[in-house]
Every structure is written in C-alpha cells, then in structure tokens.
Structure 1
C-alpha cells in the first residue's frame, strides 16, 4: 500500500492519519538532515562502528539479531525505525518504539570475555542514541552542507522526546556531550573482526543494488573519516580506510544530487503530504519552504475560523 513501510512486522503509514504531527516539525533541522540518503548512509555506518566499539553492544547485536546472517536487511530496518522517529505520525512512532523496547527486554547475555550485558542498560541506550545523532549530523555537516552551531543545538533538542521514549536518560544536547560520553567509554573500545566484516559487506556492492560499487566504497571510507581519531585508532582502522580526495569529491557530489532531487515516495515526502505540504517541500529552497509553511498555516487558520 502506498505510504506503508514495514518494520519487524508492523506496518508504518507515513501518509496517514492526515494532519497528525511527527515528533519533529517540517521546518526542523532533523527533517532536513534525514531526507538526504547520502548523509544517512555515511552517518549510519559511522554509528554502527561507534556502537560495535563496545563489546556489550557488539555481542548483543551479534547474538540476538539477524545481523550476522542479514546485515544489510538489519541495517535497513534500523533505518526505517529512525525514519519513524523523525517523520512518522506520533502515534505510530510510539507503537514502534514500545515494540522495540519490549524486544530489547529479552536481549541479555555475556560477551566472550564473560561480561554481562542487557540491551536496556541505560549506559548502552545513551550511547546508541548518541552515536546515531553524532553520525547523521556530522555526515550531513561534513559532506552535504555546513550546519551552524545554532542548528546543531536545535537538532539535538529535536531528538530529545524520541530518545527518552527509547529509555535514554541522557540525550545529547551538544557535541561536547558526545565527547564526554566517548571519553568515559573509550577504555572499553577494541578492534574486532566483526567491524571489518561489516565494512567489507558495506563496500561489496550488496548494500544498495544499482548503486556503483565504487560509490559504496567511498561512502564507507567517508564514514570512517568522521570517526573521532581516537576511535579509529582503537579500532585499528588503518590507511586502507583513508578517504582520498577523489572519494570525498564523489560523496559530496552525490550528496548534492540527493539534496536537490525530490523523493516524493520516501518517508520524508509522504510525511510532507500528511501535513498538507507538497511532497517536494523538503527539497525546495529555504525561502520557498518558509513561504509554503506560512500559506499552509494561514489556510488552516482560515479553515478553522469557518
């Protein structure tokens, strides 16, 4: 059905109910960032690497999900969950997040070294949320368009409500929060074959059918490039993962294309339609967006008055 996405058996309708708001507004930084497929690709890979740096998260994902047998499918499902939190109707987002939380309640075990872990451990929930925010925002800022400090602050504020629904107790309020969390966890980080297996799969051309293998490889190297240097060193991701100028130019060029070409059937486009905006709204110039929002709000107010 048009407007539907599936996540772990739940049908998510980004087109309905008409008028139901998302947790972020159409003029939010979040809606701007998450519409760009290149930023999502780069940021998502970086987030996974940051998560897998900690053996507790790595073991939890490896032992309790389809990641080792279907890493691409699992990554795509995670991406859909992120879309729901940004663009989905609030009711649908709450249902999906509660479902994920219920599932996480059963994710417990021990790392190979014998350390106990639980997916509902607040420290791990905080870190997973932080890696996603850092990854997506940094990717957009670095490869799509520079993001002002004020807009970075807005981005973190916009994600607060959804993060807390997941059980996060310390959502990021600024990049300094991310680095403070990183400093605390850094001694735990270690290289592991799972990290390089994941990167090899993402570079293989299997991650996105129809996308040239060279571009997928460049996206992987771009993701490694936005990791803090101390993390890359801890993970032993050497010069073979360097992002060379040609690769950086390729990622930026594709990011520019993604920023300009509308995807009306995407969650972003469908969410716009749900709120009475053109499906192409997010791909228009900022001044045009402001004009459309003003006219839409004026029309809604006039309708209510009658």
Structure 2
C-alpha cells in the first residue's frame, strides 16, 4: 500500500511523463555522449537554478506575464500561436486558450531543460529550431504597427523578461537560492542562450536586466487579453486555495514596482504578504519534493561523471533556506 506522499509522487511523475516528456522531449538524448558537459555543465549556476522544475515553471509564468505588457508580443500570439482563444467565426477573443497556453509551456520547459542539461549538439539543435521559428513571426498589428521577432530591440526585451522571470522565481522560491554576485553569475551564464537565439547587447547582471526592462516602459501597454487574465478579472471558477488566482497573486508579487502599477497591484500588509508567500513556497517546494530530481538532470550528471570541471560545485554557493529573507533580497527596483 502506497503512502500519501508516494501516491502524490506517482501522480506528478506520471503527469510529467504523459503530458510533458512524451510530447515535448522527443529526440533529446540526455545520456550521451559520455563526458559532454553541454553548454554549462556541473557546478554552473544554470544547472543549479534549472534543477528545480516547479520554480522553473513558475519563473516561465512570471516571464510570460511581463511579456504580455508588450502589445506586439500579444499580437504575435494572436497571429502565430494557439495561446489566444478564437471564437467560432475565427476571430480572436483576446483571452487565453488554456490548452494553447499549456502547449506553449510544454515547449518552453523542453527548451530550457534541453539547453541546460542536454548535450552540446542537442542544445545547439533546439536553439536553431527556435530561432528558425522566430524567423517566421512577422506581421502587422491592428493599429498598423509592424512586428518582427527578429528585431534586435524586441529580442533584447524578450530575453530580459525570460532571464528575469527564471532568476526571480529562483530567488523567491528555491530552498537554496543564489544571491548577490552568485545570481549575477546565472544572469551572465544565461546570456549564451540569448545569443544562440540571435540576441545582441544583452544584459549580463540582475541590475542590467532590470534596467533593460524598465527602459522599455514607453513601448508597453495593458492589452485587453492581459487585463482579463489577472487580478479581479479572473472568474469565480478560477478561484480557490490553489487556483489560478493563487498563482496570479504570486506572479504579481514578483513584479517590479512599475509593472505592478500597470495592473494596479498593491502588496498586502507585511504579515499577510509573508503568510501568502510562505503558502506559495510550500506548494512549489512540496511539488519538487514529491517529484524528486528530474531524470534529465540525473542523466546529465551521469553523462559527465568523472569529468574534471573547473567551475565551483554547488556546495560552494552561499545557500540558505529562509524564504522570507530570500524574497527580501529579490525586491525589484522602482
């Protein structure tokens, strides 16, 4: 007879196998070639950050939330993806299609796991695939402005939202978060991914990334789709102790102050905020504990086992387990 935590582990592992790995990891080999460290390797900040799958997924959601403030990204989604729902006559509703969003998330998880833990050849291959896909994302918004996923400014903004989301989720909710110069090391390492996707003049530190995000403010707006998918506009059916509004609040809580102001987000009193954050921390880390380390991470460790790597190992990082202090370090600039 399985114990409750074993049942939860089985359900989570089976869900990940059926809904993510079998659909989005096809063709990826994390076991070979022997000795290949991939793009980053053991001891890298990327290996440490990406090894916590629930925090990684939460970080991608934070990044997607911030991305939606760019109207061009919203219309890219309308014209070139299934993220935005369409009515029976084919016209976009402006609302998020849950199934389409799940597909986008699955592809994103696959990409960031493959570039972190895959072989060098696989990391380069998935990057070429995504970059080729971006070449096709061009069009004109209803207001007459054109958009182009190969535009250098757009690539820089989009890259900044992603690395900010992943790093911020890590700082807030990883049990052993990197801080200070050590999280800057993650920002610096991750630039390799941005360059592989065609990015140039990319930010290399947390401060540079926050400055990049803030500099784009004159180009941003609150689209109808973004407004209807957050805060009080979430339907009653999406509420609940761990429903969409629970995650929505957690995402808004991570936003830089200027971004929070765009959706009129106000932090509750410090006691309530601490309780809310602790609840999110418990859920994210409870899932991670139940799932255990990703098989892809373990395969990558075995692939490079015995290989001498010059980078410091994970225990040399300044690690801590206090979620409140970690979040305080992660407060965003005004």
Q: Normalising by structure 2, what TM-score?
A: 0.71
Supply the RMSD in Å over aligned alpha carbons. Answer: 3.2
Instruction: Quote the residue 2:297 is aligned against.
Output: 268
1:117-128 aligned at under 5 Å gives the runs 117-128=147-158
**1:218 to partner: Cα distance:** 2.9
Per mean C-alpha deviation after superposition, the further-off stretch among 237-246 and 137-146 is: 237-246
1:131-280 aligned at under 5 Å gives the runs 131-144=161-174, 145-199=176-230, 200=234, 204=238, 214=242, 217-234=245-262, 236-238=263-265, 244-257=273-286, 263-276=292-305
**1:238 to partner: Cα distance:** 3.6
Conserved 8 A contact 1:38-1:254: no
Between the aligned partners of 1:241 and 1:60, the Cα distance in structure 2 is 34
- Secondary structure of the equivalent of 1:190? coil
Between the aligned partners of 2:157 and 2:107, the Cα distance in structure 1 is 19
Residue of structure 1 aligned with 2:83, choices 67, 84, 95: 67
Between the aligned partners of 1:269 and 1:61, the Cα distance in structure 2 is 34
Higher relative contact order (CA 8 A, sep 6+): 2
Between the aligned partners of 1:263 and 1:146, the Cα distance in structure 2 is 17
**1:262 to partner: Cα distance:** 6.3
Conserved 8 A contact 1:15-1:271: yes
- Secondary structure of the equivalent of 2:209? helix
Could you list the per-position Cα deviations for residues 241-296 of structure 1 after superposition, in whole angstroms to 9, with x for gaps in the alignment? 9984433111212344456566355432332232238xxxxxx9827xxxxxxxxx
User: Compared with structure 1, are the counterparts of its residues 78 and 113 closer, same or farther at alpha carbon in structure 2 (3 Å cutoff)?
Assistant: same
Conserved 8 A contact 2:161-2:213: no
Conserved 8 A contact 2:60-2:165: yes
Q: Is it true that 1:43 corresponds to 2:72 in the alignment?
A: no
Instruction: Quote the residue 2:107 is aligned against.
Output: 77
- Secondary structure of the equivalent of 2:252? helix
Instruction: Quote the residue 1:25 is aligned against.
Output: 41
Q: Normalising by structure 1, what TM-score?
A: 0.77
Conserved 8 A contact 2:51-2:297: yes
Conserved 8 A contact 1:10-1:96: no
